Structure 1
Amino acid sequence: MGKVILITGPARSGKSEWAETLARQSGKTVIYVATATNNPDDAEWQQRIQQHQTRRPQDWVTLEVPTTLSTTLADTKANSCVLVDSLGTWVANLLEQDEVSWANSVAEFLVTVQLVAADMLFVAEETGWGVVPAYPLGRTFRDRLGSLVRQLGTICETVYLVTGGHALNLTTLGTRLPDAIDYE
């Protein structure tokens, strides 16, 4: 297994920029995995995508992977650094899966992460710090993403929280929770 790093935090906190900094510092070929789908009819979304694209070096390979994340990760080479931005969008893209299918997708993803020899950086949004969503799909999204981030965090070499203009290394500052506990 290569290095596995999780970068999490609230919206517009600098998560992606920190992940991009770590990818540049890796000295490896960078593969940027964008989980968002390109929607030309949404001007604001296009602006967000453009902002991300402008920051990235020209020599980075970009793959648009809205759903088949595990397959893409499994196909990466050991001498590369894969930056996945973001897990929240990946979860949103799979929200229509029933609970059994979702559990299978998560299990496949977590096993794949542990088998890949490439370094991997995962960007994930923190959604559970606010009000419980008033609608079922919002609660499903929040719960699935929160659980995924927790499970991934337990197998990561390093976990960062980016907030308030700072990247905090939670691996050195915190204590890892036991794997078996599930608070859902």
Structure 2
Amino acid sequence: MAALITGGARSGKSSFAERYAAKLAERGIYIATAAIGDDEMRERITRHREQREEGGFRWETVEETLKLAEQLDTLNQEADEAVRSGSKPPVVLVDCLTLWLTNTLLAYEHEPAGRLEQEVDRLVEAVAAYRHPLLLVTNEVGSGIVPAYPLGRTFRDAAGRMNRKMAEVCDRTFLVVSGIPVDLSRIAVSLDDL
């Protein structure tokens, strides 16, 4: 069961995802994709970790900035083993896909254009294959102005395509606006219904 949780910056996506996770399992694995690039980011990461620890839900934090698909494959196998042994698997929360995309874009910036898309497709496959509770936080970045520089436009377009692909393989998709989650899956319109 995978759910995609999207929204703007500081919309409440992560706190909704953490509360949702607590309803799905007794413990969780928090995959943090942020890379520490400066003191401000280090402070943010420390603050987020402290907030999770104070929340009362048991989190194990895994930092993974690039090899996210491989990490999900491994966790999927571990969760399968837990189920076989009679245990309930943890919920996995990835926060966030757009930071992972940024890291991946920068890592492969000088490689052929299709390389980024291959990495996104590999991640989509890993999410589609995941058989246990999985929550994916991402940013909705395409609603603003067109970036003035090529790398910014590449990122914006890649994020939009990634989010669309993820929504296709997830069971539910939520949009969080001003702290209010909206279940897009329940209000989506099918072309067949028109």
For normalisation by structure 2, the TM-score amounts to 0.84
Q: How many residues align?
A: 174
1:130 is aligned to 2:144: yes
Superposed CA deviations along residues 109-165 of structure 1, whole A, max 9, x for unmatched, are: 111112122211000001101000000000011011110001100111111100122
Shift >6 Å, 4+ stretches? none
Superposed CA deviations along residues 8-50 of structure 1, whole A, max 9, x for unmatched, are: 00000000000001111112431000001124xx232123212
Cα offset, 1:83, TM superposition = 0.3
In our comparison, the structure showing a higher alpha carbon Rg is 2
Between Structure 1 and Structure 2, which shows a larger proportion of helix residues? 2
Is the 2:5–2:136 Cα contact (8 Å) retained in structure 1? yes
Residues 1:176 and 1:126: Cα distance change in structure 2 (over 3 Å): farther
Unaligned runs of 5+ in 1: 179-184
Deviates more, 1:88-97 or 1:144-153: 88-97
Aligned to 1:166: 180
Is the 1:154–1:176 Cα contact (8 Å) retained in structure 2? no
2: CA distance, partners of 1:100 / 1:15: 30
Is the 2:26–2:58 Cα contact (8 Å) retained in structure 1? no
Instruction: Identify the match of residue 16 of structure 2 among 2, 18, 21.
Output: 18
1:105 is aligned to 2:119: yes
Aligned-residue CA RMSD (Å): 1.7
Unaligned runs of 5+ in 2: 80-88
